């Protein structure tokens, strides 16, 4: 029989109860690990082999309800949930469409730049035409029927377009440089193709003259002197400066619309403003294409846009542009004496017509320092011509030369004149009848080539009997 004492039995029972209590607590809490249980058993003096750690049971996965059920439940709790989800979906679609538009615009720009590079003339970094293309600012109006009509008409004679481009080569750098300085669109460098075909001595039936076709009154308003020996409208540099001053003023007046500014340059700002007010009263649009302008003005802007299309893409219209060096082709010198340009050209060994064409403002081929002391020279011959001009003796100033009819001047009573300010609705016939004269005399006295008048113009009218004069 085993010799046991009550103390030992009590100790074993207590140890067993404590072990059971510890194991039960660890299993119910599911927080102790196998290592902690073994350590606890060793601390109680039990063998680790008899300790069996129960494997924790896998908790069943929560019952996931379908998304539609969740949405319905959310709608019950939040009545604006569906509307909010719809808005989020629309915003996502808009963001996606916006990114697609940006990508399309980027692709179009790359394709346009690639096409432009293909059609640029050789040596683009040294070519003025490249500066012209890069400075285009007008919208693309190729879809307009009038622009398409004139583009087709001009492209039928590529030789003529080539001649125009060659004629402009002396002045293009000067014009583009001035446009860049003023930050104006370089489409305006093509405007002389429409106005005068880049000829300094171009005249119109309305009395306009020069490369930029200034009428006498507008020319004087912008500082272009006009005398019997000098006409600044025929000076390429002076006329270009005045033309850009006038165009900038019109651009401001018509609130940044270049097409309306060009129309006003052709037919006058008063006529364009009158048509704008008329359309505004009738509830019509007031852009250039919607106005009822004169026939010449309706053709004026489409012609410019047609030239832009041809020069922008010359190879498509069988035009081969010769490169214009990106450097000045002309030089200006200051001479404070009268110079006979024909003699200067003959002494320098260059054609006199070339020098006279560049200085068309001097009407008799002799400079007049009283009105302009600047002479334009071809840059490649500027040094030789400057030496010749400095060595030549002063010529007779044509402006101070007495008239050959001076001895026949009448000593009778001087003429007296009155002035009539033209109002809206006036005509030369009405004005002549009112003052007892004829339309022919009225036009001759005011040096008018046509019967066109506009409100605000002042007409000189003879008062009393006139005497014959040869002056």
Residue numbers annotated as active site? 195
Q: Which residues does residue 421 pair with via DSSP β-bridges, in sequence order?
A: 458
- The Cα 343–Cα 389 span in angstroms is 9
Cβ neighbours around 131 below 10 Å, total: 19
- The Cα 101–Cα 118 span in angstroms is 26
Residues 6+ apart with CB under 8 A from 306: 147, 150, 151, 153, 154
- The Cα 93–Cα 85 span in angstroms is 13
Sequence-ordered alpha helix ranges (H) in 63-127: 67-77, 81-119
- Using CB atoms within 10 Å of the CB of residue 113, give its burial: 0 to 12 exposed, 13 to 18 middle, 19+ buried: exposed
Provide the 3-class DSSP secondary structure of residue 19: helix
- The Cα 275–Cα 400 span in angstroms is 47
* CA torsion angle 447 453 459 461 (round to 10): 80
- The Cα 311–Cα 133 span in angstroms is 9
Provide the 3-class DSSP secondary structure of residue 5: coil
Are the C-beta atoms of 462 and 415 separated by less than 8 Å?
Answer: yes
Question: For residue 136, which phi and psi values (nearest 5 degrees)?
Answer: -65, 130
Residue with tokens 């008899």: 50
Residues 6+ apart with CB under 8 A from 343: 392, 395
């Amino acid at each position: 029989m085993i010799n046991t004492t009550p103390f030992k039995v009590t100790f074993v029972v207590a140890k067993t109860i404590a072990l059971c209590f510890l194991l039960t607590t660890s299993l119910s809490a599911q927080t102790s690990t196998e290592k902690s249980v073994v350590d606890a058993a060793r601390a109680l003096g039990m063998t680790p082999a008899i300790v069996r750690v129960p494997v924790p049971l896998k908790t069943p996965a929560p019952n996931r309800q379908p998304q539609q059920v969740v949405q319905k439940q959310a709608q019950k709790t939040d009545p604006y949930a569906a509307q909010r989800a719809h808005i989020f979906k629309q915003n996502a679609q808009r963001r996606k469409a916006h990114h697609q538009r940006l990508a399309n615009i980027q692709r179009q720009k790359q394709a346009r730049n690639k096409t432009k590079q293909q059609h640029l003339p050789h040596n683009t970094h040294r070519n003025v035409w490249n500066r012209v293309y890069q400075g285009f600012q007008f919208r693309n109006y190729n879809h307009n029927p009038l622009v398409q009509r004139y583009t087709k008409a001009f492209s039928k004679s590529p030789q003529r377009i080539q001649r125009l481009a060659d004629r402009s080569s002396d002045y293009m750098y000067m014009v583009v440089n001035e446009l860049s300085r003023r930050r104006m669109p370089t489409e305006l460098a093509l405007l002389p193709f429409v106005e005068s075909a880049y000829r300094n001595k171009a005249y119109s039936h309305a009395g306009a003259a020069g490369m930029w076709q200034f009428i006498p009154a507008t020319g004087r308003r912008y500082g272009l002197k006009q005398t019997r020996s000098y006409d600044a409208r025929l000076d390429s540099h002076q006329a270009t400066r005045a033309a850009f001053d006038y165009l900038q003023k019109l651009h401001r007046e018509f609130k940044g619309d270049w097409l309306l500014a060009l129309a006003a340059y052709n037919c006058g700002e008063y006529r364009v403003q009158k048509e704008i007010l008329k359309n505004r009263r009738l509830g019509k649009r007031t852009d250039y294409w919607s106005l009822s302008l004169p026939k010449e003005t309706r053709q004026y802007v489409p012609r410019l846009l047609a030239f832009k299309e041809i020069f922008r893409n010359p190879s498509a219209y069988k035009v081969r542009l010769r490169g214009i060096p990106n450097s000045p082709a002309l030089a200006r010198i200051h001479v404070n004496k009268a110079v006979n340009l024909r003699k200067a050209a003959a002494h320098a060994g260059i054609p006199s017509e070339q020098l006279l064409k560049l200085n068309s403002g001097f009407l008799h081929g002799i400079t007049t320092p009283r009105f302009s002391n600047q002479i334009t020279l071809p840059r490649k011959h500027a040094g030789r011509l400057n030496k010749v001009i400095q060595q030549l003796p002063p010529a007779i100033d044509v402006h101070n030369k007495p008239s050959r009819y001076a001895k026949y001047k009448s000593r009778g009573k001087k003429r007296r004149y009155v002035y009539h300010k033209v109002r809206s609705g006036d005509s030369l016939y009405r004005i002549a009848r009112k003052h007892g004269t004829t339309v022919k005399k009225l036009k001759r006295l005011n040096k008018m080539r046509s019967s066109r008048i506009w409100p605000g113009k002042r007409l000189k009218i003879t008062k009393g009997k006139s005497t014959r004069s040869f002056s």
